[in-house]
Amino acid sequence: MVCLGNICRSPLAEGIMRKKLNDHNINAEVDSCGFESFHTGDRPDQRGIEVAQKNGIDISGHRARLFRVADFDEFDHIFVMDQRNYSDVASVARNRRDMDKVDYIMNMAYPGSNKAVPDPYFGGRADFRKTWEMLDEATGSIIHHIINGKL
């Protein structure tokens, strides 16, 4: 899961996905990262922590990290939140094989839409709730695809 600073959208996506994998007894690894070094090592935004807690998920232990080229080797799928994240990942891809792993997370719910998950950082709690709802829908689709052998 990739966003800009790895303190809002991608930690939420990671937390939701981790819970759903656990709930469905799916053995898979999920992680998140970003491209903006300013937040490296930081906890998620407090508003994200709160919306996750209200939904039974604790993301407070997360610490922001940067995307690594090795992530292409360690993960089968790399989900980005928006066009900027897609471009950032593409800028460090080594080849077509790397890019074949990259997709917009919302394409899991709305194939081919390239719909962005807006960054809630400069918004309010309602923006974090909307981000939660979008990521909950997308990760639900990911689980559905895994269960049905399509991912």
User: Which of these is catalytic: 8, 9, 45, 65?
Assistant: 9
d(CA 62, CA 74): 19
List the structure tokens of 85.
Answer: 């994240």
| CA–CA dist 67, 4 (Å, integer) | 10
Torsion angles phi and psi, residue 123, rounded to 5? -100, -160
3 annotated active-site: yes
- Catalytic-labelled residue, pool 3, 8, 82, 88: 3
Say whether 119 is catalytic. yes
Question: 142 CB contacts (<8 Å, ≥6 apart)?
Answer: 17, 20, 79, 105, 108, 151
Catalytic, 9? Answer yes
Query: Annotated active-site positions, please?
Result: 3, 9, 119
